[in-house]
Amino acid sequence: MSEPLSDSALDQLFRAARTYNGYLDKPVSEAQLHAIWDLVKFGPTSANSLPARIIWCVSDEAKQKLAAFALPANAEKILKAPVTAIIGMDNEFYENLPDLFPHADARAWFVGNDALAHTTAFRNSSLQGGYFILAARALGLDTGAMSGFDNAGVDAAFFTDQPNVKSNFITTLGYGDPASIFDRSPRPDFGRFNRIA
pLDDT per residue as tens digits for the range 85-95: 999 999 999 99
Domain boundaries of the chain, sorted by first residue:
44-173
CA distance 159 to 79: 20
In the CATH hierarchy, which fold is given to the domain comprising 44-173? NADH Oxidase (3.40.109)
The pLDDT of residue 73 is 97
Give the Cα-Cα-Cα angle 8, 12, 16 (nearest 5 degrees): 100
Q: In what order do the strands lie in the sheet with 165-174?
A: 52-57, 83-90, 165-174, 142-146
Which tens digit of pLDDT belongs to each residue from 18-51?
Answer: 999 999 999 999 999 999 999 999 999 999 999 9
User: Is 57:81 a contact under the CB 8 Å cutoff?
Assistant: no
Which tens digit of pLDDT belongs to each residue from 94-140?
Answer: 999 999 999 999 999 999 999 999 999 999 999 999 999 999 999 99
Would you call 59 exposed, middle or buried from its count of C-beta atoms within 10 A (0-12, 13-18, 19+)? exposed
* Confidence category of residue 189, pLDDT binned at 50, 70, 90: very high
Question: What percent of the chain is modeled with pLDDT above 90?
Answer: 99
The pLDDT of residue 127 is 98
Helix axes 30-40, 114-138, angle to 10 degrees: 120
The pLDDT of residue 1 is 73
* Confidence category of residue 68, pLDDT binned at 50, 70, 90: very high
The pLDDT of residue 48 is 98
CA distance 179 to 39: 29
Average pLDDT value for residue range 135-159: 98
> What radius of gyration do the chain's Cα atoms show?
18
Mean of the per-residue pLDDT values of the chain: 98
* Backbone conformation region of residue 50, classed left if phi is above 0, alpha if psi is from -120 to 50, else beta: left
